[in-house]
Chains A and B, each alone.
Chain A
């Protein structure tokens, strides 16, 4: 199963886990399964109509999936997906 690296700001929605293994043959499926497993994460990854939020960058290995096949990017066992959030600093807005 592919691994998904969870960044610090989102770990509160994965019970503190920094890495989660989820099923799925594509990046989109894997993230969808992640959001199903951790429902609190969903609104942080997806817009109301089910699209990945534009400020959430998803990488397979060191490559942005926007420049691969987007959500259709194939992932295999052991592949590493990373969610790279935008962070501004230590202060809240």
Chain B
């Protein structure tokens, strides 16, 4: 039944299944592709899930149910209400708890036979190799570019497979990057996009069910690797479009010039991934181009004091519908052609959700000759937190 070398060797007596486990895994045991020997391999396997968010949730739940003997979870985040729409390993009663604790409890509830190893810390260049070393497979369920390149490079350096999944809005990608047998993440994406070009909060969002589809593909690939059955996604990129309900498959090739897995690698140890992804540079540029700011408390004081200030909201209409503070809406994209609506000599405070888009709007108005324009620090989110809690936070 095996189509390739299993990642986990037959444990031969070192791992046994109890009668409870035999009953639990009966639907696996009656399939010749898994059977008793395969279930023992799954039990002997050690899988690390990086992140217990949208992708990590279904992944960890299914791996636990399938009987993976050791599941490591890395996360330093705390469960937030806005996670519950997709991060199904966490429940309403978990809001405010560390994600690793909530995930551990849910895994243990589904399958007490699983040993859960909790790594409640951010994955960094300092700890990644040490954390990864104990595991057979690393599953990437992170949500940012620096960590993705870090996971990739650590896997390449250690010779471990990296089961990749990524999501955006209605679209997902999955693959298995394993430099020993095929391309790595850097062969596909040699460089990250500069921070300014990736879709911003305004354009972000994700269908809550989407990570379920991609996370279960990752879980499937993980179990296939452990057992050595089927055709893994090595050298293939699976693209899933939930709106079109279509899967497409692209060929991936190992890049001989890849800086880490190519013929003459230039990256031979973990680097500074924030730097590599241009994050500090972008932050510095943002500060250098700093626009004048005003806090929500200062604004409230000025408005209460009767000062003449035009407050503008530069978010999108669908966001305005969710929450607004009753001021004029001019979406950022429309602002350049609507400048004539405003008087250069008046005072302006611009707000968005958290301050990113409004900073761009302030810059735009300044460049157009407006003198007294301020960015509302923290946006409507800060207004909701510090001034008026009746304004919903989204």
The minimal Cβ–Cβ distance linking B274 to chain A, given in whole angstroms, is 10
Beta-carbon contact of B144 and A93 below 8 Å: yes
Q: Which of A37-88 touch B at CB < 8 Å?
A: 43-44, 53-55, 57, 59, 62-64, 67, 82, 84-88
Distance A82 CA – B191 CA, assembled complex (angstroms): 19
Closest beta carbon of chain B to A39's beta carbon, Å: 13
Please report the C-alpha to C-alpha distance between residue A62 and residue B248 in the assembled complex, in whole angstroms: 8
B197 touches A88 (CB 8 A): no
Interface residues of B in 277-333 (CB under 8 A from A): 277, 279
**Nearest-neighbor residue (CB-CB) of A54 within chain B:** B191
Contact of A90 among B204, B248, B356 (CB under 8 A): B204
User: Among A84, A89, A92, which residue has its beta carbon within 8 angstroms of that of B200?
Assistant: A92
Chain B residues with CB below 8 A from A63, complex form: 250-251
CB-CB under 8 A from B192, the residues of chain A are 55, 86
Contact A64–B251 (Cβ < 8 Å): yes
Q: Is B205 in the interface zone, CB < 8 Å from A?
A: yes
Residues of A contacting B189 in the complex (Cβ-Cβ under 8 angstroms): 55, 57, 86
B190 to chain A: closest CB distance in Å?
6
The majority secondary structure among interface residues of chain A is loop
Interface band, chain B: 35 or more
CA distance A46 to B204 in the complex (A): 22
Q: Is the beta-carbon distance between A89 and B168 smaller than 8 angstroms?
A: yes
Q: Which of B168-191 contact A (CB under 8 A)?
A: 168-171, 173, 188-191
**Chain A CB within 10 Å, residue with most, of B193, B201, B206:** B193
Q: A8-B171, A87-B167 are in contact. Are A92 and B253 (CB under 8 A)?
A: no
In the complex the two chains form, is B237's CB within 8 Å of A84's CB?
yes
B244 contacts across to A, CB distance below 8 A: 18
The reply on B203 being an interface residue by CB < 8 A is yes
Measured CA separation A34–B106 after assembly (Å): 48
B23 at the interface (CB under 8 A from A): no
Q: Would B169 and A64 count as touching, CB distance under 8 A? A: no
- CB within 8 A of A7: which of B54, B86, B171? B171
In the complex, whether B249 has a CB less than 8 A from a CB of chain A is: yes
User: Across the interface, do A89 and B173 meet the contact criterion of CB distance under 8 Å?
Assistant: no
The reply on B159 being an interface residue by CB < 8 A is no
Q: List 28 A-B contacts (CB under 8 A).
A: A7-B171, A8-B169, A8-B170, A9-B168, A9-B203, A12-B199, A18-B243, A18-B244, A53-B193, A54-B190, A54-B191, A55-B189, A55-B191, A57-B189, A59-B250, A62-B249, A67-B253, A86-B192, A88-B148, A88-B166, A88-B198, A89-B142, A89-B143, A90-B54, A93-B144, A93-B198, A93-B277, A93-B279
